[in-house]
Structure 1
Amino acid sequence: MAVDTLRIEDRDRVRTLTFDRPRAANAFDEALYNAVAAALVEAAGDAGVSVVLLTGTGGTFTAGTGRWITAEEAVESGLALRTCPHDELMETAHGLAAEIAARPLASLLATKWLITEAHRDGVRRAREREDAAFAELLRRDGAAGDVLARLD
């Protein structure tokens, strides 16, 4: 799917997807969402791609989180590995991605599975706690009526 708001580049087994809507702070619209989804599916089926690197033009990755964070905050929260000077950002990111891409595919797949499962386990446990809390609330006298009244 060709779209002028997504640029795709392949180098060193790394596919870089660049969101190119700088006037909209790279916020996703339907066309960009569909293009990124298609590009990710295509990358997953391409034996020459081991890592996908996401970036945005205009000094913004993408808008839509409702909160701007600094690079230092991204590192502190675990969203980023480290900071680097802006003019070195893409080469540094690509270098790290290329290091990962050079590893054996089985290792990459196992690592991705472990990370995904750890996240899923956390979500499952949180939902189980939430379900238990709501079940307890509903068991209490009159609580079910209170909950239903608030839903109206």
Structure 2
Amino acid sequence: MLTITTASRVRTITFDRAEAMNAFNEALYHATSDALRDAADDGDVAVVLLTGSGRAFCAGTDLQEMLDRDPTVPFTEGAHGFQRLMGTLIDFPKPLVCAVNGIGVGLGATVLAFADLVFMSTGARLRCPFTSLGISPEAASTYLLPELVGRQNAAWILMSSEWITAEEALAMGLVWKVCEPDDLLPVAVGYAERLAAQPIESLVAVKAAMSAPHVDNIRAALARESALLDELVGGPANTRALADFTAARTAKAR
């Protein structure tokens, strides 16, 4: 589910659920949260790098698990690991680097707004398919994306459900550098190691100072988004979208 390695004070966490395009199910939410918390507490780790295995960075929330959920339980309540992962990302004290090796969908795109540096392969693409699923955005993206890429770029990303290329993501400021596929991980690791060579306490201080003005707004955005998701998940548009997803998957399996 995750592959975790450490070298030169850089902890690399690789989503390794390639059969599901590294989509988040409950187990992966919790495993990722645990891995980040372990890295935060490890005095020998200065920087964390997130990447994916196979042809995806992360395909977002596992739609099959969404289909199988108990409809009487609010989507954002209970043991849902998404909320736990959000809390971990908000509180994560060390530099977070993402290397987007393939497609990033939903949370696989919005999680990038929590990163301090984002590298993206020229062959990768991003998509926030919330409107096509009849739901609203998550991961505080309604606050973080306008802050990061500007209101109009954020509106297009979150409302259109269309794909964003690496070049478009770079122009918007959603990613920092675009690399050829074979160069992506070496380049991202190289920059991560350059950061990791600095004193950890200084890195933590810089990140804390940069994050402090935004934390309350991020938590407020999460609360607003959770309320909207609870209204829309299981609603008519979402039900139709998930039915179409099931029908397409069944047809493909034949």
Q: TM-score, normalised by structure 1?
A: 0.72
The CA RMSD measured in Å over matched residues stands at 2.1
Amino acid at match of 1:73: E
Give, in whole Å, the separation in 1 of the partners of 2:55 and 2:213.
32
Amino acid at match of 1:98: E
* CA-CA distance at 1:74 after TM superposition: 2.5
1:118 paired with 2:213, answer yes
Cross-structure match for 1:87: 182
Cross-structure match for 2:54: 58
> Percent same amino acid at aligned positions?
49
SS in 1 for 2:58: coil
**2:29 paired residue among 30, 33, 51:** 33
SS in 1 for 2:31: helix
Give, in whole Å, the separation in 1 of the partners of 2:33 and 2:39.
10
Normalized per residue, the structure richer in strand is 2
Give, in whole Å, the separation in 1 of the partners of 2:23 and 2:35.
17
Cross-structure match for 1:105: 200
Cross-structure match for 1:74: 169
Cross-structure match for 1:18: 14
State the Cα deviation string for residues 29-86 of structure 1 (Å, max 9, x = none): 1111111111111111111100000000112211121254322222223332111110
SS in 2 for 1:26: coil
SS in 2 for 1:47: coil
Largest Rg, 1 or 2: 1
Give, in whole Å, the separation in 2 of the partners of 1:21 and 1:69.
23
Give, in whole Å, the separation in 2 of the partners of 1:103 and 1:10.
16
Q: TM-score, normalised by structure 2?
A: 0.45
- Alignment CA distance shift 1:25-1:90 (3 Å): same
**Unaligned stretches of 5+ residues in structure 2:** 61-105, 107-128, 130-160, 225-254
Give, in whole Å, the separation in 1 of the partners of 2:28 and 2:7.
22
